[in-house]
Amino acid sequence: MTVTLAERSAAHVSTYWRKTQDAEIKALLPSSAQSEEQALEMFQKSLLPAATSYGKVILADGQYVGDIWCYCIDEQAEKSAMLSYCIFEKSLWNKGIVTQAAELFLREIFERYSIEKIGAFTYSANIASIRVLEKLGFDFVEEWEEDGVLSRYFELKK
């Protein structure tokens, strides 16, 4: 399977919003957007010159299957960003797509931004996401419970 990244559009954001409303996906992926309109507003802000988020779509054999993005980009004080990703086509879970996409994306992010590290949060029950982060070389930093849910934080240094 050939995995590539492409530029995001408003149409991608709308598709992503609809696909990620699936109960199983929502249980694995926290989202700050509470509506499709809010997701589109956040996307528009990511296009501004001083944006602190940046993302791409993930294509598997040319088919749009998910998104990968970074947020909280801080090139000044912390010299860091946060990573997030989601494959919304559940038939393609556990096929190595996110790992391949993240390898491409991380290379681009470290070249594009003056950052020294990238962090990532995942629910402790999301074993597939933990495995992706480990394969990419992220180090486990800490685990905590919030609202009855265990989460883990990982970090990758340049």
DSSP 85: E
DSSP 91: G
Q: Closest Cα to residue 60, out of 98, 25, 29, 15?
A: 98
Q: What is the CATH number of the domain that holds 98?
A: 3.40.630.30
The answer to whether residue 137 is domain-embedded is no
Give the model's pLDDT for residue 4.
Answer: 98
Looking at the 3D structure of the chain, how many domains does it have?
Answer: 1
Give the model's pLDDT for residue 32.
Answer: 75
The answer to whether residue 132 is domain-embedded is no
Gap between the terminal Cα atoms of the chain: 28
Structural domain of 97: 3-115
Residue with tokens 């399977």, as numbered in its chain: 1
Residue 99 tokens, joined: 């790992």
Contacts of 124 (CB under 8 A, 6+ apart): 130, 143, 150, 151, 152
The answer to whether residue 87 is domain-embedded is yes
Give the model's pLDDT for residue 89.
Answer: 94
Q: Where are the beta strands (DSSP E) in the chain?
A: 3-7, 54-60, 63-74, 80-87, 117-123, 139-146, 149-157
Backbone angles phi, psi at 29, to 5 degrees: -130, 105
The answer to whether residue 51 is domain-embedded is yes
The answer to whether residue 84 is domain-embedded is yes
Give the model's pLDDT for residue 107.
Answer: 96
| Strand arrangement of the beta sheet that strand 54-60 belongs to | 3-7, 54-60, 63-74, 80-87, 117-123, 149-157, 139-146
pTM: 0.92
Give the model's pLDDT for residue 29.
Answer: 81
The answer to whether residue 111 is domain-embedded is yes
Give the model's pLDDT for residue 80.
Answer: 97
The answer to whether residue 98 is domain-embedded is yes
Give me the average pLDDT of each 10-residue run along the chain (158 residues): 96 93 85 86 90 96 96 96 95 95 97 96 93 97 93 96
Give the model's pLDDT for residue 77.
Answer: 95
Give the model's pLDDT for residue 30.
Answer: 75
